[in-house]
Structure 1
Amino acid sequence: MKMNWLELFPEPIKSLLEQLPSSMLDRLEEVRIREGRPLEINAAGDHHFVTPGGKLTYRVEDSYKPAREDSHRLLDRISNHSLYTMEEELRKGFITIPGGHRIGLAGRTVLSGGKVEHLRDISGFNVRIAKEIHGASDEILPHLLDRKEKRMKHTLILSPPQHGKTTLIRDMARQISNGSYGNTTVKWPGMKVGIIDERSEIAGSIRGVPSFDVGSRTDVMDGCPKAEGMMMMIRSMSPEVLLVDEIGRSEDAEAITEALHAGISVIATAHGSSVDELSQRPALAALMENQMFEVYVILNRVEGHLNFRILDRQQRSIQLSLPNQKGVDVYG
């Protein structure tokens, strides 16, 4: 069962959020709590502060300002009153809770040997609300099909943070696994899909069971580092398609190369706004230089709608959503 994200918040923050218009709650992506500073929400790129009466405002002086007690209560709820059991999450600076909701943390770092050991005096929270949108990949999936070989093309999806990458690949997993391929008449059977879900955001697994609909033939490796998880999935579950979110390390690139050489289609995401930009990152440069990906999808969200460009292996344009089209509705 998915967690109702509103239940995460302590009073009075929960009551303030419940007073927001339902249209705003449906589009809500982030709730930012900063001790002593305005309570802020982000809905499809539109930022507001929240007043003590549950109204929206842009005025700092009219906003509700969470107190230290609010921070402590929220931290207790996030950690289930056992913060010491979450040392690894605190080292990374975020916690993922049931339902795939990810909570970024800010505070004072404690160092050991020059590296971050954990966080303390946590006073900043960014609650990112995970959304499930069936059909989010309808317009993009047809361009990822190798109709001759009846397989998915090796694909890298690029965008800046919070432009819908995770929502997109969650829907791709569902469709590919179930044998539906977006806006096409293709009648292929569903494929075996493996998701490497290091941050528990794609499938939102609870005790190993996905809380999101990721398809009938999908297996999830939850909470596992991407590189190790890809190799484990290949050895244990024989996937036809691997999906992995936010690659960026050299070991990620090595594992992807192994998967491609094993005949497995890989659909991965990475932060970036262009292929050239990724080529400047040492950990991923070899993947770009060797043209390991057959398709690049460049995402750009405008006013809540996901516009995209699709490039081939040589970075030539295949398809783009036109300016007079709304693109794909993606919030989150």
Structure 2
Amino acid sequence: MNRAIGKNSQVLQILAREIQELISQEEIDMEGLQEIRLRVGSPVILNIRGKERIPKRNGKPHLVTKTEMRETVDYISSYSLYAFEEELRQGFLTVEGGHRVGMAGKVIMDQGTIKNIQYISSVNIRVAHEVKDCAGKVLPYLTYDQQLYHTLIISPPGCGKTTLLRDLIRQISDGNRWIQGESVGVVDERSELGACHLGIAQNELGIRTDILDGCPKAEGMLMLIRSMAPKILAVDEIGAPEDIHAMEYAMHCGCRMLATVHGTSMAEVQKKPVLQQLIQKKRFGRYVVLKNGIHIGEVEGIYDERGTLLYREQYEKGACM
């Protein structure tokens, strides 16, 4: 079995048995499976390559019961939601394989801050995809003399930025014709890049990669600089002022930055207060902008520090999925 298909099939094991059977009876493109949405009293909804599909039993949509939701949450949390309090404050947690599980329900507050979520009524499982070599088309535009430009990947949610970042890390770490193998420090705050389980990465991030799993980005970048002396620092979904300060410090220390941010265009990102200064100073040598197209991972364009378009991809079979 293809490894990617095996990992995606594994996600079914955290569902209630009735729902597992319901989905297993369908002929599903597991490589294209992006989301599984469960809501108490509503049908199971699958997102497959951007299209919704509602599995049926005896010709009728199956409505998720409270018992099935409780069973699913028990599997996801290993029967202890309290053990995941810190993650749930963000509204989601990451399970083995790097799959992200979002939850909605009754929010428990403690002195004005979110402590936990109870009475879960909705679950959204975002299926992680490890697609090797999907960064092959963009990497030549991100390097010079076998060195990496400071690179920022800009993407709307769900368009493949984490998949692209993951493969860039692997290729940079292992080395190829475009770049010599470099030590890469990864701050994997949400456990989506390496998908570490008991400290061991489930995804392949290369032979020269060191991972801080579950660590806040700003603190993690400084820790890696002090302890592991990486040549490249990689982080997913920057946005807080402390993230930017840590990135600037890393750049001054000689580290090359590889980061992602939510956005639909360079123009939109330029308006983000926390990023304005870095962009105006032309600290990033390359910007990769993904678009919300028909297929995951479509590249709207690659731009240099001045905003000049260097590359635009027409979707072809075999691009990031």
* TM-score over 0.5 (shorter chain): yes
* Counterpart contact for 1:241–1:265, Cα < 8 Å: yes
Counterpart position of 2:293: 302
Any conservation in 1 of the 2:154–2:287 contact (CA below 8 Å)?
yes
Q: Could you tell me how far apart the structure 1 residues matched to 2:7 and 2:207 are?
A: 18
**Is the CA contact 1:139–1:328 (under 8 Å) kept in the aligned structure 2?**
no
Alignment partner for residue 319 of structure 2, among 315, 326, 329?
Answer: 329
* Aligned equivalents of 2:108, 2:282: Cα separation in 1: 41
Aligned partners of 2:102 and 2:129: how far apart in 1?
17
Residue ranges of structure 2 left out of the alignment (5+ in a row)? 1-5
1:271-323 CA-to-partner distances (Å, cap 9, x unmatched) read 0011221222222222222222111100014322532100110111111113x
Aligned counterparts of 1:109 and 1:70: Cα–Cα separation in 2: 20
Give 2:3's aligned residue.
Answer: none
Which of 151, 157, 164 matches 1:168?
Answer: 164
Give the share of equivalent positions with the same residue, in percent.
Answer: 38
Any unmatched runs of 5+ in structure 1?
Answer: 56-61
TM-superposed deviation, 1:26: 2.3
Q: Over residues 25-67 of structure 1, what are the superposed CA-to-partner deviations in whole Å (9 max), with x where a residue is unaligned? A: 22101100011011100011111111125x8xxxxxx311100
Aligned counterpart, 1:242: 233
Q: Is the partner of 2:185 in helix, strand or coil? A: strand
* Map of 1:262 onto structure 2: 253
Please give the secondary structure, in 1, of the residue aligned with 2:85.
Answer: helix
Letter in 2 for 1:25: M
Give the structure 1 partner of residue 102 of structure 2. 104
SS at match of 2:54: strand
- What is the SS of the residue equivalent to 1:38? coil
Q: Distance in 2 between matches of 1:246 and 1:17?
A: 31
1:32 and 2:28 matched: no
Could you tell me whether the CA contact under 8 Å between 2:100 and 2:128 is conserved in 1?
yes
Equivalence map 1:113-128=2 (5 Å) = 113-128=111-126
Write the deviation string for residues 42-98 of structure 1: whole angstroms up to 9, x where unpaired. 011111111125x8xxxxxx3111000011001111111112111112211101011
Provide the secondary structure at the position in 1 that maps to 2:297: strand
User: Quick one: which of 310, 313, 318 aligns to 2:310?
Assistant: 318
1:160, distance to aligned residue in structure 2 (A): 0.4
After superposition, where does 1:1-332 map in structure 2 within 5 Å? Answer: 4-22=10-28, 24-53=29-58, 62-147=60-145, 150-180=146-176, 185-186=177-178, 188-308=179-299, 309-322=301-314, 325-326=315-316, 329-331=319-321
Inter-partner Cα distance in structure 2 for 1:232 and 1:116: 27
Structure 2 residue aligned with 1:58: none
Shift of 1:222: 0.3
Residue 327 of structure 1: CA displacement? 6.9
Output the TM-score relative to the length of structure 2.
Answer: 0.93
- Tell me if structure 1 keeps the 8 A contact 2:38–2:124: yes
How far is the alpha carbon of 1:13 from its aligned partner? 0.3
| CA shift in 2, pair 1:29/1:320, >3 Å | same
Q: Deviations over 1:155-193 (max 9, x none)?
A: 00011000001111111111111112xxxx44x531111
Alignment deviations for residues 209-258 of structure 1 (CA, whole Å, 9 cap, x no partner):
11111111111010000010011111111111111000010000001101
